[in-house]
Structure 1
């Protein structure tokens, strides 16, 4: 077993032990801890629980308002700390478990997604140099999630009503100072699904992965305060640094290296 395979095997596995399936009107959407389910039941009679699930039963026209109010209630109870004032789309799943992004059931505050175990979407961009080395970013110490850990050239969640590719271009500009003309050369290279148990709920996300070839004259620089700096890193060094990356960025990078034959 090589180092990359070993790293991938070390990625956390998601467990539903001790969790309740969260559904809305018979549509399964996420996972919730029993203590959160109890709070939701005390908040509204529309939240109904059994031994294995908690379900919101309400008219479709009222889902948006009820979920917004429930998220705000959990915030006041101290269960949602990182309130971002940014909305994500909530999509149902196909029968095969894949996210059905053609349907948006409602939108919700980004910071509430983990508490409800909802599946979000994000872009991750590999910055590839002409000699094959990679540009890695280091997350700022002020980041609420994974401060100071290594990351891809750019990455970020996809807000409601922003397209996947527009998010790529925006994140490259904000996080790495890459101008739009170059950013638009990013090439889609596949999607990954990551799911794990976290202290603040369930992290469930579809990662849309892109590769961007950077000329030697381009040196990334941060513009939004979310990245402490960048390092151009040889492939062998990247392999040793995989455990220092965020779980999502490490997964994206490891899959890139495997594709390249390492």
Structure 2
């Protein structure tokens, strides 16, 4: 890997600037998407135009909120909303508006702890701009200033070939952050459940940015897991192209070059600063 062109004292600022540059979000280009008066998403206005051509899909928001729309205003139950969204997701797929069909259901909800209003195929969540949830884990090597990271498969529909946390995964409806993490640990890196269950939580970060699919509005739950020095990750689900054991300097260079996903960069930077593994960590 090529050496970083940045001075050690400025590299954290460079990493942060890279995240900002890759995280544009213009509120005026979006509508607050609501169900039963609660915001569940940030829908791009151009995507709202698509949905308005489907009878019953969108309604006007409250009079006091001209920049809001209501999803499925005539549906009043979890079951009817979910059925309508299942049909919508297939229509969006057939029309080429979504890709990377996952056969996995995400919640339509204003918060992780709130009851879901409905579920929808994961592939359609970012087209709608829905609030989603994910668990990410830094793999820390015991007794060393080093970590394991992973590179996403080139076949991934989102961020193919980019560097990622050792383990990262979206949270399907009905799952818990640690439960999601334990499952992804086994699939992505061959970490057994008894070891994965020792992961330590370190808070939540919010990602809100415009992306080609629509909007990534995600609450990312951060975990650190200390791994034995002789542990070597093994991918089981084909979604990881390679794993790399890496020291902080080389890792920061990858992040500064914008070769790591935005959410993984934020999660990685969080642990590097917490552990004092950065040459300079100015206030955010």
TM-score, normalised to structure 2's length? 0.84
What secondary structure does 2:215 align onto? strand
| Equivalent in the alignment of 1:74 | 92
Q: Which moved more, 1:43-52 or 1:15-24?
A: 43-52
Matching residue within 122, 137, 152 for 1:110 = 122
**1:203-214 pair list within 5 angstroms:** 203-214=216-227
Q: CA RMSD in A?
A: 1.7
Structure 1 runs (4+) greater than 6 angstroms displaced: none
CA shift at 1:46, angstroms?
4.7
| Equivalent in the alignment of 2:274 | 259
Matching residue within 114, 118, 121 for 2:133 = 121
CA distances 1:192-232 after superposition (whole Å, capped 9, x unpaired): 11111011100111111110111111111111101111111
What secondary structure does 1:238 align onto? helix
CA distances 1:119-162 after superposition (whole Å, capped 9, x unpaired): 11111010001202010111111111111111111100111122
Q: Does 1:8 align with 2:47?
A: no
Unaligned runs of 5+ in 2: 1-8, 279-284
| Equivalent in the alignment of 1:47 | 58
Query: Paired residues, what number?
Result: 256
Asked if the contact 2:44–2:129 (Cα under 8 Å) also holds between the matched residues in 1, the reply is: no
CA shift at 1:65, angstroms?
2.3
Mapped to 2, the partners of 1:74 and 1:169 lie a distance apart of: 32
What secondary structure does 2:180 align onto? helix
TM-score, normalised to structure 1's length? 0.91
